[in-house]
Amino acid sequence: MASELKNDRFICALLRQSVDVTPVWMMRQAGRYLPEYRETRKRAGSFLNLCKTPELACEVTLQPLQRYPLDAAILFSDILIIPDAMGLGLNLVENIGPKFDKPMRTASEIKSLSIPDPESDLGYVMDAIRLIRKELGGSVPLIGFSGSPWTLATYMVEGGPTKEFGLVKGLMYDDPASMHHLLNILADSVVLYLNAQIAAGAQAVMIFDTWGGILTPLSYQQFSLHYMQKIVSQLDRQYDGQVIPVTLFTKGGGDWVKDIAATGCDAIGVDWTKNMGDVRAEVGGQVALQGNLDPCVLYASPEVIRQEVAAVLESYGRGNGHVFNLGHGIHQHIDPENVAVFIDAVHELSAQYHN
Ligand code: CP3
């Protein structure tokens, strides 16, 4: 399995095969907490330029791996470049977050959307993947990713960050047909996009459903999970003789893990609001689990970081199927030294849980 990789712990753990120590990576591992990221970002001129210049995207993808013994690299990009490629016009506004020039608020605006072609409209992502694979030289696997249709739709309808989700949920309740039309176009776009990432060299893929947890249990099934299921069933799960594991991460979705596992995904991302042991008891026979240290633990002292890592490892328990991660992305004000303590603690303290 994944025999060309020098370190295949991450892939093995996702497939619930045995490993020597628990593999670890961090959501948002390439980002603003690293001074070298801030330097490259400045050089790029803008966040979008960084995403759209394969050499620079490659450079920042590799930065955290040069500092820490991480078990996977994740493509540097953003979930919002799909709507950008659909013509919505993405801007990242300092201290506010992502904004679209042309949000999708009406049935006719939604009807006018079309599916981007991954190789022509998003070719810079595929070029970045090919370059990163070359630079990694088989040291660790490369993760590709996308947003979930529901999470992409929240940004497209709201037009920017929100705490209340009134516009997108209003549209969902008031005009479900338009919402389903939008989600179908996004699901088809994500399938093409992730399959193109796999063909370009992504060795595992992850779908970020950051806003699935704001839905009611029933609307989660209908408006988020249904479309992730559709994507899982259409992905190229084998490529070039290798299995391509698929991870689904619904933030706030801890109560719905049985349904998430039933999509046929290989692994589920777990945020910090659940005990890993409890989730494992529910679905550990079907899927691997990824998580779930509270990202705020990294503000604490090295002693506390080690204790909290130990607690997550103990909660998951002995055996296969655990990929260590934070329960959500790393914050920008974290001290990079604390990240080193965290990564080392996972490797050192997890050996006793594997034979
Ligand atoms: O994990 C990684 O290291 C890969 C890179 C990555 C980014 N965004 C880079 C980024 C990934 C996987 C994402 C996913 C993403 N983007 C999600 C899903 C995961 C999650 O965090 O919930 C979402 C919801 C987005 C949308 C998005 N992009 C937001 C809300 C923001 C602003 C947030 C902030 O911290 O200011 C972005 C911008 C963004 N994407 C940054 C990075 C490193 C910060 C950009 C900068 O100022 O340099």
Question: In percent, how much of the chain has pLDDT > 70?
Answer: 99
Predicted pLDDT at 4: 83
**Residue 269, beta-bridge partner list:** 249, 290
Let me know if 227 is a catalytic residue: no
Predicted pLDDT at 71: 98
Question: In percent, how much of the chain has pLDDT > 90?
Answer: 97
Predicted pLDDT at 81: 97
3 pLDDT band, cuts 50/70/90, is low
Tell if the pTM clears 0.95, that is, is over it. yes
Predicted pLDDT at 355: 82
Residue 56 has pLDDT above 60, yes or no: yes
Q: What is the pLDDT of residues 222-247, one digit of tens each?
A: 999 999 999 999 999 999 999 999 99
Tell me if 257 CB under 6 Å of ligand 1. Answer: no
**Tokens in use for 326?**
């934070």
Query: What is the spatial distance between Cα 5 and Cα 149, in angstroms, rounded to a whole number?
Result: 31
Query: What is the spatial distance between Cα 93 and Cα 227, in angstroms, rounded to a whole number?
Result: 29
Let me know if 239 is a catalytic residue: no
User: At residue 155, what are phi and psi to the nearest 5 degrees?
Assistant: -70, -35
Supply the mean pLDDT for the chain: 97
Tell me if 208 CB under 6 Å of ligand 1. Answer: yes
Q: What is the pLDDT of residues 172-190, one digit of tens each?
A: 999 999 999 999 999 999 9
Tell me if 74 CB under 6 Å of ligand 1. Answer: yes
| Higher local confidence (pLDDT), 231 or 95 | 231
Let me know if 28 is a catalytic residue: yes
Following DSSP, what letter does each residue of 104-146 receive, concatenated? --SHHHHHT--PPPHHHHSHHHHHHHHHHHHHHTTSS-EEEEE
- Assess contact for 193 and 116: CB atoms under 8 A: yes
Residue 282 has pLDDT above 80, yes or no: yes
Let me know if 68 is a catalytic residue: no
CA dihedral 309, 314, 316, 322 (to 10 degrees): 50
Predicted pLDDT at 24: 98
Predicted pLDDT at 94: 86
The whole-number average pLDDT for the span 69-84 is 98
Tell me if 41 CB under 6 Å of ligand 1. Answer: yes
Query: What is the spatial distance between Cα 156 and Cα 79, in angstroms, rounded to a whole number?
Result: 11
Residue 1 has pLDDT above 90, yes or no: no
